[in-house]
Amino acid sequence: MEKNIDSKLAAVKKHILEMGGFVEKALMQACQSMEMRDISGFGKVHEIEKRINEAQMQVDNECLNILATQGPVAKDLRFIMSILKINTDLERMGDLSVNIAYSGKDFLNYNLSIGIKELNRMSVLVRDMVGQSLDSFVKADQELAQKILLQDDEVDYIRDIIDGELIKHMKSHPQDVEPCMHLLSISRNLERLGDHATNIAEDVIFAFSGRDIRHGGRFG
Amino acid sequence: MEKNIDSKLAAVKKHILEMGGFVEKALMQACQSMEMRDISGFGKVHEIEKRINEAQMQVDNECLNILATQGPVAKDLRFIMSILKINTDLERMGDLSVNIAYSGKDFLNYNLSIGIKELNRMSVLVRDMVGQSLDSFVKADQELAQKILLQDDEVDYIRDIIDGELIKHMKSHPQDVEPCMHLLSISRNLERLGDHATNIAEDVIFAFSGRDIRHGGRFG
């Protein structure tokens, strides 16, 4: 016998939040291994990413099942649509954490401190955004979701500072081009993680208000 | 009175293909402006991207409407799920084309030919993948979709060659760090466009076969 739609929606919500927890863990693991210069720590990111990928397929299947058997409408349908989008974002965020682990591992072959302070600041901010985007979803908190949209501008600002520092350093110390490239790659991946947290915030606003704020709608 | 589901599915298919056409156009415009060193051409990419964004919201709304009013099941439901995913991919591909336009514009302040030949080769390949991913969707051609998955490895291979050339050049000519960074950014964005074409190919296989080949399923 079919379970009712509310219990199915609660189950898929639980699963996507577990998946979000894995993403937070993967990102924290990648960033902390970098900060602690702990090469072995990067391997754990790959393990966590596997669980993210499994969760993605499970969540997609659950949504498909709810759509096929429950015929959700109005806010339930918007909720499912948002879960499908958040699911895609979280999976990419797992990939990006793995990218950070790869670049971090390569970077640790070198000893360079330039840009690291700003990179750590960026990493704390992005991890905060990721955590808050999931919180805003759990609590249906549109105000918190709006706050994340502003934090994304700060991430871009720090990225520009890092770019400037590293480009300047590469020009005066061309022997350091490789480690600088690894740091630039980490900074780009963090930036993209911030973008995905922003997507999730936009999905939360859509799910709980019905307002589509993509493409400038946020100012509308 | 509600139109029947087939005509609604045909309409949303038509709209997502138009959107795909805009993406091809945006990418071609960005790459050709780069190849022709035509700064004014980059502006057109932004204009086309606006139409991509509008199309994305329209397609999402049409899918939501079909899900709410038609209760699609089985292959129709898989088709809608795939359209939703392809829609997200195409919108990102528009963003990436805009990124290429920005980096291309910055690059044209310099006169550097290193890596350009490979970059043009990569751009032709990625444009081919994007066109073929849309073709595979139109024709429900799973064999073509499979082919795209292999082309993505070639894109990664060319990216590695470009990385190697540019890193070597930056080390011996540190005064060229900035233009090299712009080329690396273009190469990264092309690579990501290839990834999205690959996602679309995976969605096509799911839509028309029900097989989920993500995360290694392609080898299963």
The size of chain A, in residues, is 220
Domain span at B40: 5-219
Query: How far is CA B3 from each of CA A28, A29, A159, rounded to the nearest angstrom?
Result: 50, 51, 49
Residues of A contacting chain B (CB within 8 angstroms): 53-54, 56-57, 60, 64, 67-68, 71-74, 77-78, 81, 84-85, 88, 167, 170-172, 174-175, 177-178, 181, 184, 188, 212, 214-215
For A11-17, which contacts have Cβ atoms below 8 Å and span 24 or more sequence positions? A11/A62, A12/A59, A12/A62, A12/A63, A12/A66, A12/A80, A12/A83, A13/A83, A15/A55, A15/A58, A15/A59, A15/A62, A16/A55, A16/A59, A16/A83, A16/A86, A16/A87, A16/A90, A16/A137, A17/A134, A17/A137, A17/A138
Terminal-residue alpha carbon distance, chain B: 45
| Nearest chain A residue (CA) to B180 | A167
Report residue B1's pLDDT band, with 50, 70 and 90 as the boundaries: very low
| Total domains, chain A | 1
Q: Which of A88, A178, A188 sits opposite B88 (nearest CB)?
A: A88
Task: Give A88's contacts in chain B (Cβ within 8 Å).
Answer: 85, 88
Angle between helices B142-172 and B177-209 (to 10 degrees): 170
Q: Which pLDDT value is given to residue B218?
A: 45
Q: Which pLDDT value is given to residue A3?
A: 66
What does the mean pLDDT of chain B come to?
94
| DSSP category for residue B110 | S
Q: Which pLDDT value is given to residue A213?
A: 82
Q: Distance, in angstroms, between B35 CA and closest chain A CA? A: 25
Report residue B219's pLDDT band, with 50, 70 and 90 as the boundaries: very low
Q: Distance, in angstroms, between A181 CA and closest chain B CA? A: 9
Give the number of beta-carbon pairs within 8 Å between A and B: 73
Q: Which of B71, B174, B178 sits opposite A71 (nearest CB)?
A: B71
Q: Distance, in angstroms, between A71 CA and closest chain B CA? A: 6
What is the three-class DSSP state of A103?
Answer: helix
Q: Which pLDDT value is given to residue B126?
A: 98
Angle between helices A39-70 and A74-107 (to 10 degrees): 160
Q: Distance, in angstroms, between A183 CA and closest chain B CA? A: 13
Tell me how many degrees the CA angle B108-B113-B118 measures, rounded to the nearest 5.
105
Contact A53 B214 (CB under 8 A): yes
Residues B104-133: pLDDT tens digits?
Answer: 999 999 999 999 999 999 999 999 999 999
Contact A167 B175 (CB under 8 A): no
Q: Which of B56, B177, B212 sits opposite A170 (nearest CB)?
A: B177
| Nearest chain B residue (CA) to A65 | B73
Query: How far is CA A176 from each of CA A110, A179, B100, rounded to the nearest angstrom?
Result: 9, 6, 26
Q: Does pLDDT of B204 surpass 50?
A: yes
CATH of the domain at A167: 1.20.58.220
Both tokens of A69, joined, read 């058997």
Contact A174 B178 (CB under 8 A): no
* Reported pTM: 0.94
Task: Give A73's contacts in chain B (Cβ within 8 Å).
Answer: 68
Query: Which residues of chain A, if any, have pLDDT below 50?
Result: 1, 218-220
Report residue B210's pLDDT band, with 50, 70 and 90 as the boundaries: confident
Task: Give B53's contacts in chain A (Cβ within 8 Å).
Answer: 214-215
Q: What is the mean pLDDT of residues B195-219?
A: 85
Task: Give A203's contacts in chain B (Cβ within 8 Å).
Answer: none
| Nearest chain B residue (CA) to A52 | B215
Q: Which pLDDT value is given to residue B216?
A: 73
